Chain A
Amino acid sequence: MGIIRNLSTNLTVIRQSLLRNHQKTIMSRKVHASRTEGVDKNVWVEFTQLAADYKAVNLGQGFPDFSPPEFIREAFCDAVKGGPAMHQYTRAFGHPPLVKILAKFFSRIVGHEIDPLEDILVTVGAYQALFSAFQALIDEDDEVIIVEPFFDCYQPMVVMAGGKPVYIPLRPREGSAVLSSGDWVLSAEELASKVTPRTKAIVINTPNNPLGKIYKLEELQMIADLCIKHDLLCFSDEVYEWLTYDGAKHVKIASLPGMRERTITIGSAGKSFSATGWKEAVARGFEREYEVFGTPESYFQQLPAMLHSKRQKLATCLQSAGLNPIMPEGGYFMIADISSIEVDLNDESNKDEPRDFRFVKWLIKEKGLATIPVSAFYSSEHGKEFDKYIRFCFVKEDSTLKAAEDILKKWSQKE
């Protein structure tokens, strides 16, 4: 009798715990889709958090810490105060006033008609423009050539679309002293060797992040010839198109013969108008710029002029601290060679990471200065060659740059 009672009690307990466990069991099989595998690490998430934790002077993530220009802020306020229609859905592929001015503005630059309704898609940041391009045009097993160093999202986006990234690095030119981003070049033979029958597209970024290289006409022509010969698409990320220095000219590969019909060109309001948090463009900003284009009033002239002196200042500081900067021709980043710095990167927790990753973490923790390791912009096969560079962002208030300068001065005095 006692046994039976015990048994039935046990059974009740077992049944109840099974019920509880059953409720707790989520999925016995795999939940996530395979496309999310291997694309979960993100350099920005990792380093931005670290910079925040150590309250470092942040020359890491690329965003201005000064305000967008007055005229764009006014345009924004006017839009906010506008009628109810300003707060409701607009045309899906792009707000009509915006696509009209973009078409007008860029038609003038490239020298051919751009249809506002057929040839333009407005997206949530250039990030989404890239995402849409890859999702729309890259299939399983398509190969996509990516020029290194590359903005880190290209690789996971290609992978997520089922494609296969094929890398080719820009390399410092042989022989001459490598002092400018213009000295980093692509080998035409090496590039040609990367093309296979499965190659679908090539991704270029000019001005380049992180290097600051601005591809010259001849270099773009070389790429264009290859695209035409092998019938490839070209995704051209030109978000920093207005930030050119020392008279370097930004050339749009889509304007080269035979390239228009095979090129997607990507732009950004966030970078154009120093409002990265908007991730949407304001038609009025471009309308205003259209009128003053080429004059000293143009924000697209003023911004690079302002950044020119910051670029110089940063380069000087880095040199005096024993770091060797590579002068960028464009964009708002500068990479510096850390090979001549001897520090004891005594940190067990990251001893298996590339040197530049370790150096950057040390720099954040020990010196309170945040930067980004450049091998993050390389494939694993080539990262080793380039783990002696770190990236600085100089689109910052003078006070921020001064704080960085003080850190670097103190550091160089101690050595």
Chain B
Amino acid sequence: MNFAWHLRNGSRLTCRSAPAACRRTFTAQHVMMSRHTHAKRIDGLDKNVWVAFTSVAADPSIVNLGQGYPDIPPPSYVKEALAKAASVDRMNQYTRGFGHPSLVKALSQVYGKVCGRQIDPFKEILVTVGGYGSLFSTMQALVEEGDEVIIIEPFFDCYVPMVRMAGGKPVLIPLRPKPGKIPTSSTDWYLDPDELSRKFNSRTKAIIINTPNNPIGKVFTRDELQVIADLCVKHDTLCFSDEVYEWLVYKGHEHVKIASLPGMWDRTITIGSAGKTFSVTGWKLGWSIGPESLIKHLQTVMQNSLYTCPTPLQEAVAQGFLLNYEMMGQPECYFSSLAEELEGKRDRLAAILQEAGMTPVVPEGGYFMLVDVTPLDQDLSHMTEDEAYDYKFVKWMIKEKKLAAIPVTAFVGEESRKHFEKYIRLCFIKVRRISLRSCILFCTLWYFVIL
């Protein structure tokens, strides 16, 4: 009687028939399951805030300001470029593994201009599956057991699991509100230089920065970046700079690339995203830019994990970049026009939230806004799960107010939870959601609660 039969029909074997056979079957099943365990590298990494909240918010009756993706259409020329690319036979087959030639050349042009330096399209650029793919290749290529990686809170949630999956140890440091005032703008949050410098030691391999920051929307100033750069140079560490929202910077603020600071090009990987640049998050294309000495290791990871990214998408993004390159600095350039459009939405949302009695933290960049819900003093004692206040608040808000957001403690470590659990994150790259009608409805609902 073969093993497999036993396993499949184990439940049908009763103890009336050979008890030994029963026991053997049970043991066999037990042995089977104990061997089929996952690899240690993914231990404890299975929880994910997006998986938890996106399905809940998928109900069409809920206004979803949670997950960060636009519901505004992408520019028509990128879609047309995609359709055109797919009609060319060669464009439907494998392209160069480390990045489609027309795309890496376009990236080299655009970023060469922005950075003020020659960027080798073949040696200093890697095209990946989204900003996520760039982060993953970077961690897998450059972080290992024994390495410490400094992460600034609040952080885009994947940084910690990626560092851990690579065997590294995350070392967290929070952005803090400036003393003496309640933060109403992302400029009110800062990194304490002394606290930061104490986080660096001989095991520190890298620091991850994200500017403009998700979820706060902080845009690090040149001076702030200089402090970080000085520490990187002093301690000889790498810098992973996630700049996916680089074009979404509002009036009065400037996006600075840390890689352009003295001593930083050779130790920095800068990450960008087509999804965020052209409002096509579903295309999942991103890139890492840096010195050959680092990019070559990311390329090794790429050739052993995905090998290459989809060709027609890369061709279409290349066309998008070439078009906008000509218009850079002018108002027609999508990189400027999108920011302008979003600034209006930002201001409208901030006003609405204030009307509803909450305290928005107006962001300098990106398309997210933090909101302090403390003034509402919402009683959630009836929700007995062991969760942070913001998780409970968002769940309550989805259920009672039909409005979805993301809890901010998803972006911080255990120790910092108490400093962030009164904040929720709203996304404003939405067109219909911030229409006047839903604003009024939303405010009315809130007033109902407060009164």
Contact = CB atoms under 8 A, between A and B. Distances in A.
B282 A125 contact: no
B447 interface: no
A5 interface: no
B190 interface: no
A266 to B, nearest CB: 14
Interface in B44-70: 50-51, 54, 67, 69-70
Contacts of B238: 27, 31
Contact of A136 (B8, B42, B312): B42
Nearest to A38: B300
B39 interface: yes
Contact of B233 (A23, A31, A137, A231): A23
B283 A28 contact: no
A7 interface: no
Chain A, interface residues (CB within 8 Å), range: 35 or more
Interface in A197-240: 224-225, 228-229, 231, 233
Contact of A29 (B32, B236, B262, B297): B236
A157 B306 CA distance: 11
Contacts of B92: 67-68, 274-278
A35 B266 contact: no
Given A161-B39, A231-B31, A257-B4, A36 B308 contact: no
A127 B305 contact: yes
Contacts of A261: 32, 36
A21 to B, nearest CB: 11
A277 B93 contact: yes
A258 B94 contact: no
A84 interface: yes
Given A26-B291, A42-B303, A127-B306, A136 B39 contact: yes
Contacts of B141: 32-33, 36
Interface stretch (A75-83, A243-251, A313-321, A326-334): A75-83
Nearest to A231: B35
Nearest to B68: A89
Interface in A290-312: none
Given A33-B166, A89-B281, A128 B306 contact: yes
B8 A258 contact: yes
A115 to B, nearest CB: 16
Contacts of A73: 86-87
Contacts, number: 193
Contacts of B82: 80
A88 B306 contact: no
Nearest to B133: A124
A275 B4 CA distance: 38
Contact of A26 (B167, B266, B279, B303): B266
B69 A27 contact: no
Contact of B304 (A24, A153, A233): A153
B38 interface: yes
A280 B310 contact: yes
B3 A258 contact: yes
Interface in A142-189: 153, 156-157, 160-161
Contact of B3 (A91, A92, A228, A274): A228
Interface in B62-102: 67, 69-74, 79, 82-83, 86-87, 89-95, 97
Contacts of B143: 33
B142 A33 contact: yes
B2 interface: yes
B94 A63 contact: yes
B392 interface: no
A64 interface: yes
Contacts of A278: 92, 310-312
A66 interface: yes
A276 B312 CA distance: 11
A400 interface: no
A25 B262 CA distance: 12
Given A45-B303, A277-B95, A84 B72 contact: yes
B156 to A, nearest CB: 14
Q: Which 6 A-B pairs have the closest CB atoms?
A: A258-B4, A277-B311, A33-B144, A23-B263, A32-B297, A63-B93
Interface of A: 22-29, 31-36, 39-40, 42, 44-45, 61, 63-68, 73, 76-77, 80-81, 83-92, 124-125, 127-128, 131, 135-140, 153, 156-157, 160-161, 224-225, 228-229, 231, 233, 257-259, 261-262, 274-280
7 contacts: A22-B233, A80-B83, A89-B281, A160-B304, A224-B4, A228-B7, A277-B91
Given A31-B294, A135-B39, 6 more contacts: A36-B297, A68-B92, A87-B279, A128-B305, A136-B39, A231-B32
